């Protein structure tokens, strides 16, 4: 076993150094940063354009007395309800749909999104259906306060009671559960994006070495399954280097921008252990998908065949992610157990479980289960590669898939 591990590490060091010190690695690191920069610029431009339009307000087109009452009511409600829509006094009537349309068109620069007309006894709110539906309750409160001021006389401000605030360190169970679910969803999404982004590098690895006849030299000196394991470990190491650089850049951007992740609640196992489990489950997800991609790349003759064969796997992985996401809302149900047992969805389901459940023993079982399937897939892929590409090994082609899996697992135990 020690000699086999040495061969695996030798292949891993060879591939890791070759990739890390290549020119393409720089573009690999910078590639994902371009969409982030473009999205940030687009968000800044959108916010600037939205800010130029100004906040949406209600245009008041009523009699002078009613308009004064509505304006005073809005000022009175500003203390307890500062998020109520603002008002602006209009100097033109709005008694018909045509007049309302003209006001909304001409008052766009002032942020007029709806028009309040009629009287305090019979108010009318005109505007686009989504806007007036969202503002109907606010306008009802505004008109009711205007009626009170009209009845009591202007200048009779309402005395709002002072509310004592008593914060507690422990959040409510509802807030804690909801926050942990958001943390689980964010972790699952990040794990899926990183896995799909980085595992694709494995696809073309063997295709290039087959074309250069390098794989024949490696196969003559090192067992094929050791070659597969070494290449997977090398690509996993490169992936961790990339994640470290991207994580450092993201941390600098967050600190420089004064942003935070306060909307994410602390996971049930605590942040340090959750981050460690995240790294472990990323490695498991990467090795599972990477071993499958490595098998596909080994069987394909050209890059075009690699792309054709990898498409169904990519779509299937998307379905796997949906299964893990759905199981998050079905905790304790059979679907969650199925997502945890299915090898390719197990890392996503178990990482989400770490955010919502503090038990640690299921993670030990899950990591061992996922590692077993990595071994099975790599052994099977190496066997198929020897028999179909290298044309070596037994010629018996009638053995079933289950017998091949059993043989691969038995040879691994003997090693």
Query: What are 86's strand-pairing partners?
Result: 57
Domain with CATH 3.40.190 in the chain: 56-152
Q: Would you place residue 395 in the very low, low, confident or very high pLDDT band (cuts 50, 70, 90)?
A: very low
Residue 124 has pLDDT above 50, yes or no: yes
The pair of three-digit structure tokens given for residue 272, joined into one six-digit string: 């340090």
Q: Would you place residue 261 in the very low, low, confident or very high pLDDT band (cuts 50, 70, 90)?
A: low
DSSP 200: G
Q: Reduce the DSSP state of residue 124 to 3 states and report it.
A: strand
**Least confident span in 65-74, 369-378, 391-400:** 391-400
* H/E run at residue 82: none
The confidence score (pLDDT) of residue 276 equals 94
Read off φ and ψ for residue 112, nearest 5 degrees.
-75, 115
Query: Into which CATH architecture does domain 56-152 fall?
Result: 3-Layer(aba) Sandwich (3.40)
pLDDT in tens, 137-187: 999 999 999 998 888 887 766 777 888 888 876 666 666 777 888 899 999
Residue 293 has pLDDT above 80, yes or no: yes
What is the rounded CA–CA span in Å between residue 250 and residue 258? Answer: 12
Q: Would you place residue 311 in the very low, low, confident or very high pLDDT band (cuts 50, 70, 90)?
A: confident
The confidence score (pLDDT) of residue 396 equals 44
**Least confident span in 51-55, 98-102, 305-309:** 51-55
The confidence score (pLDDT) of residue 178 equals 78
pLDDT in tens, 36-90: 666 666 655 655 555 555 688 899 989 888 999 999 999 889 888 888 898 999 8
Residue 394 has pLDDT above 90, yes or no: no
- CB-based contacts of 372, cutoff 8 Å, min separation 6: 409
H helix count then E strand count, the chain:
16, 4
């Amino acid at each position: 076993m020690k000699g086999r591990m040495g061969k695996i590490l030798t292949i891993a060091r060879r591939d890791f150094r070759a990739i890390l010190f290549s020119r393409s690695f720089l573009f690999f690191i910078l590639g994902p940063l371009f969409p982030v920069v473009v999205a940030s610029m687009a968000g800044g431009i959108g916010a600037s354009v939205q800010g130029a339009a100004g906040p949406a307000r209600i245009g008041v087109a009523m009699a002078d007395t009613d308009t004064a009452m509505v304006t005073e009511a809005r000022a009175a409600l500003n203390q307890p309800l500062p998020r109520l829509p603002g008002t602006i006094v209009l100097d033109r009537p709005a008694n018909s749909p045509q007049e309302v349309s003209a006001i909304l068109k001409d008052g766009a620069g002032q942020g007029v999104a709806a028009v309040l007309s009629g009287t305090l006894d019979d108010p009318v709110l005109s505007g686009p259906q989504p806007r007036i539906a969202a503002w109907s309750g606010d306008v009802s409160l505004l008109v009711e306060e205007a009626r009170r001021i009209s009845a009591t006389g202007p200048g009779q401000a309402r005395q709002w009671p002072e509310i004592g605030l008593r914060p507690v360190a422990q959040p409510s169970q509802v807030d804690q559960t909801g926050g942990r679910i958001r943390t689980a969803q964010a972790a699952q999404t990040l794990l899926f994006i990183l896995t799909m982004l980085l595992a694709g590098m494995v696809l073309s690895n063997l295709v290039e070495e087959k074309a250069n006849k390098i794989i024949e030299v490696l196969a003559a000196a090192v067992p094929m399954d050791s070659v597969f394991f070494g290449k997977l470990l090398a690509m996993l190491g490169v992936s961790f280097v990339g994640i470290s650089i991207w994580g450092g850049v993201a941390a600098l951007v967050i600190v420089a921008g004064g942003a935070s992740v306060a909307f994410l609640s602390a996971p049930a196992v605590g942040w340090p252990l959750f981050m460690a489990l995240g790294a472990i489950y990323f490695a498991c997800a990467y090795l599972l998908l990477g071993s499958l991609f490595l098998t596909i790349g080994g069987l394909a003759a050209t890059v075009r065949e690699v792309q054709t064969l990898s498409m169904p796997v990519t779509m299937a992985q998307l379905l796997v992610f949906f299964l893990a996401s759905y199981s998050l809302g079905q905790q304790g149900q059979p679907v969650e157990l199925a997502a945890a047992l299915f090898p390719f969805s197990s890392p996503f389901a178990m990482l989400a479980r770490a955010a919502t459940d503090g038990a640690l023993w299921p993670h030990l079982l899950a990591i061992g289960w996922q590692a077993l399937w990595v071994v099975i897939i790599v052994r099977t892929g190496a066997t198929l590669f020897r028999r179909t590409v290298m044309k070596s090994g037994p010629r018996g082609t009638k053995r079933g898939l289950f017998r091949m899996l059993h043989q691969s697992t038995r040879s691994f135990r003997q090693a």
